[in-house]
Structure 1
Amino acid sequence: MEHPQTTKPNIKQLGLTTRKSVNISSEELVRTSYLQPESSLPLVVEPNLDNLNLAIWTQNNRSWIQNQILQHGGILFRSFNIKDVAEFQQFIQALSGNLLEYSYRSTPRNHVSGNIYTSTEYPATHFIPLHNEMSYSRTWPLKIAFFCIKKADQGGETPIADSRKIFSRINTKIKEKFLQKGVMYVRNYGVGLDLSWQSVFNTNNKLDVEIYCDRTGIELEWRDKETSGFSLRTRQICQAVAKHPQTSEIVWFNQSHLFHISSLEPSVRTQLLANFSEEDLPRNAYYGDGSVIEDSILEEIREIYQQEAIIFPWQEGDVLLLDNMLSAHGRMPFQGSRKVVVGMAEEYNSPEY
């Protein structure tokens, strides 16, 4: 159900039959609505004029967009006739300047052009749980945008959820424990199991990795690949919650529920534990003091994400802009081919570290 806030200008209102010029405000060039009457996430923005250039309109309306995204958490730009990746990139640059390189990555992606990447390249049958991008790190993008080039034949939606609501719904005792201890992420990099360190750090040079880890507070250990099966192990303690730099709102902001071994299917989990000690698993999450996070707690958190998920079908040409701290995102399983690309901007460093 839509609730348009502006109306499409009548051709006579444009003053084309007289010599008098008529100014149309930027807000009159678009209309806004909601996908679901019970939720203001995402705000839907559509053009009132054919061939309205999204990048140019954005350049002239940055303050309005910034205010709306802080209020709603995400904006779906629909029917702007975005033709290609170049136009998508121009939109992000018009709003936020230079795009960010996807470094210290946790999922496989392919480079498209510039700093535009494919969305996570997990098998189509896999559900990608809701999460905030790079919340397993001390540095993350404040903005993340998705562009649907080709929607799947079936499924393939990008569910989103309000991180403020996630935080408010988590049991107070659970929040207090995470707040006190933080989250420790342990990763082991090898060939054939998860990502290689070369892929994660975008380099083949060990010195580059050491410099990056030293700068970002990541503890690293080069290992004997012949005996351990892995060539690098990293540990980093990060925030469990975060305060938004502009709204000062507190949000749930970590990926313990993704990194923890309990996120794996039981058969995969059993197989890994049969072949590796817990400390040698490709990835795992602990409380910041190294103690085990209870499976039951993470299951409770996952259930809250599921209950708060907002799912809508992609339309080809859609651009979904999210405040990466205020909104989480994921991916539904799909059938057929699907192409959604991603760009990130506005790097932010956690003030806790």
Structure 2
Amino acid sequence: MCINNTLAKLTYLQGKYILMNTQFSSVNSTDSFPFMVTVTETMSLNKLKEYTKKLINEQLLQYGAILVRGCTELTITDFKELSEHCTGESKNYDFASTPRSKVAKGIYTTTEYPPHMTIPLHNEQSYTNQWADHLWLFCDVAATKGGETPLADSRLVYQKIPEDIRNRFIEKGIMYVRNYGGGLDLPWQEVFNTDDKSVVEQYCTDQNIEFEWKEDDELRTKQICQAITSHPVSGEKSWFNQAHLFHVSALAEKVRTNLLSIIEESELPRNAYYGDGSPIKSSDLDIIRAVYDEVEVSSPWQKGDFVIVDNILAAHGRKSFEGERKVYVVMT
């Protein structure tokens, strides 16, 4: 249902910007997530840097995500400069799991799945043991319909998952199994940004990823990762994995049935098990997916919007859409 959220509003009065309170109507299920501000006057990039860094320092740890609205003159280059000024150097999209295009150093398109597809809520690269601290998402062109980037408080997801399910995941961890190439998923050359097998092997060794070269130069990897993590500053626990995306139950039933009729389960492009190799119940993952649905917050993009996400505290996704949609990401 619609409720009112407090919105900090920047208004230009007597030669300076003043923070004022107003109301923002949203479909949020709480009155505190994400934190939202709107810029009502043109602001220099330096001024925006100053204000955004202050906003992050004061609000991001509490709220987990911040939406800044109204920066319609912001360019992609400006956006990268802003993000790096506030939260550090941008990172490459290494050990990728979805197709993206590199627009420039440190700037990527968001996942390039077909418009009719929905991308479930998740924390960036929580399927491995290294991830970005922050995500910066920038809307250059908003879809004519749909295309929202839903958010969820990962602390709340952790709290709402039934204790018995949560404890099983925490105790056992999660094993991600990936088979690259074969026309079914990303080729290993794209995932590891190299054509050199020795580079792949060194990366896997450094990251405790088990690897196996198969016929036709195809690759299988296995990695055991965390189910939850604690924020390095607040110590708060967050649900932090992608078992619900990698598990075979995430595939549409018809796709799953067709795939398993032609290949063995061990050859699926991706799958998830408990860390000891035992199966994860689909029913448990359905409960986790229902928790994400319960706490999801979503609002349509507008041109010039950008969202700052603490990657441990908040999950993100994508709704299906119609028309052109250009949303870019910088990871820091």
TM-score range, shorter chain: over 0.9
Amino acid at match of 1:213: C
Q: Partner of 2:128: helix, strand, or coil?
A: coil
CA apart distance, 1:32: 7.6
CA contact (8 A) 1:190 1:231 kept: yes
Which letter maps to 2:90? L
35 and 214 in structure 1: CA distance in 2 versus 1, 3 angstrom threshold: farther
Cα separation, partners in 2 of 1:134 and 1:4, compared to 1, 3 Å = closer
Q: Which residue of 2 aligns with 1:268?
A: 255
SS at match of 2:125: coil
Partner of residue 319, structure 2: 332
Q: Which runs of 5+ in 1 are unaligned?
A: 15-23, 346-353
Aligned residues: CA RMSD: 1.9
Paired residues, number: 327
Counterpart for residue 6 of structure 2: 3
Q: Contact between 1:30 and 1:47, CA under 8 Å: does it hold in 2? A: no
Structure number with bigger Rg: 1
142, 162, 175: which is aligned to 1:151?
Answer: 142
Supply the distance in 2 between the matched residues of 1:55 and 1:168 (Cα, whole angstroms): 39
Rate the CA distance shift 1:29–1:68 in 2: closer, same or farther, 3 A.
same
Corresponding residue of 1:94: 85
Q: Which residue of 2 aligns with 1:46?
A: 38
For 1:295 and 1:5, how far apart are their aligned partners in 2? Answer: 42
Q: 2:196 aligns with which of 195, 205, 225?
A: 205
1:311 alignment partner AA? S
Q: Percent identity?
A: 44
Instruction: Structure 2: give runs of 5+ residues left out of the alignment.
Output: none
Higher mean Cα deviation, 236-245 or 57-66? 57-66
Please state whether the residue corresponding to 2:34 is helix, strand or coil: strand
The alignment's TM-score, normalised by the length of structure 1, stands at 0.88
What amino acid sits opposite 1:273 in the alignment?
Answer: L
Change (3 A) 1:163 1:32: farther
Alpha-carbon distance between aligned partners in 2 of 1:314 and 1:159, rounded to the nearest angstrom: 10
1:78 to 32, 44, 69: 69
> Please, which moves more after superposition, 54-63 or 120-129?
54-63
Change (3 A) 1:152 1:135: same
What's the CA shift string for 1:162-199, capped at 9, x where partnerless? 00110000010111111110000000011311100001
Quickly say closer, same or farther: Cα 1:157–1:183, change in 2 above 3 A.
same
Distance verdict in 2 for CA 1:61–1:307, change over 3 Å:
closer
TM-score (norm. length: structure 2): 0.93
- Give 2:107's aligned residue: 116
SS for the counterpart of 1:271 is helix
- Paired residues of 1:33 and 1:44 also in contact (CA < 8 A): no
**Which residue in 2 is equivalent to 1:189?**
180
Match of 2:32, as an amino acid?
Answer: S
Is the Cα contact below 8 Å between 1:30 and 1:46 reproduced in 2?
no
